[in-house]
Amino acid sequence: MNWSELFKKQKQLDRFILENHDLEKENLTERKILAFQVELGELANETRCFKFWSVKEASSKEVILEEYVDGLHFLLSLGLEMDYIFDELEPEKIEDNETLQFLSVYRAMSQFDQNRSYANFHQLFQAFVSLGEQLGFTREEVMKSYLSKNETNHQRQQDGY
């Protein structure tokens, strides 16, 4: 996957948001961390992988992919905020099931929040990429969905979202 292209697209969106919401002088790291965690929770909710008490099926693959890409937007934005950008990245170990993979991402997020090093961010990003693979998304699907949602987010900002 061409991560540098996604970072570039995210940087354009972030710049637009910062300028239009008068946020250029604010440190948004904590808000981006929380936003990512909220999106990760929304993603888990759509997969329903942890809902052992329910027989209702997971949402459609398209809905789950959109939630995944929402999280990816905030993760890329967080990397930009920290100046942690890279071109290549391979997924790390993929856990045996979705629940364990979500927990792996949450643990990596907690580590990063406690120590905001490049190594911890890289580990978080790897865990999230592995989650995408665990959910059955191809790199092409993620890229296409990200680019589409990025356009939607630009339009939303122009429309006063």
CATH at residue 20: 1.10.4010.10
The two structure tokens encoding residue 134: 């665990």
Domain count, the chain: 1
Please provide the distance, in angstroms rounded to a whole number, between the alpha carbons at the two ends of the chain. 30
Which residues of the chain fall below pLDDT 50?
A: none
Give tens-digit pLDDT for 25-68.
889 999 999 999 999 999 999 999 999 999 999 999 999 999 99
> Residue 104 sits in which domain range?
3-158
Look at residue 55 in the predicted model and tell me its pLDDT: 96
- C-alpha distance from residue 20 to each of 16, 17, 23, 160 (Å): 6, 5, 8, 9
Q: Is the pTM of this model over 0.85?
A: yes
The two structure tokens encoding residue 73: 């937007």
DSSP symbols for 46-105? HHTTT-TT--PPPPPHHHHHHHHHHHHHHHHHHHHHHT---S-----PPPSSHHHHHHHH
Look at residue 136 in the predicted model and tell me its pLDDT: 96
- C-alpha distance from residue 63 to each of 9, 54, 82 (Å): 22, 19, 29
Look at residue 155 in the predicted model and tell me its pLDDT: 84
Residue 33 near residue 116 (C-beta atoms within 8 A): no
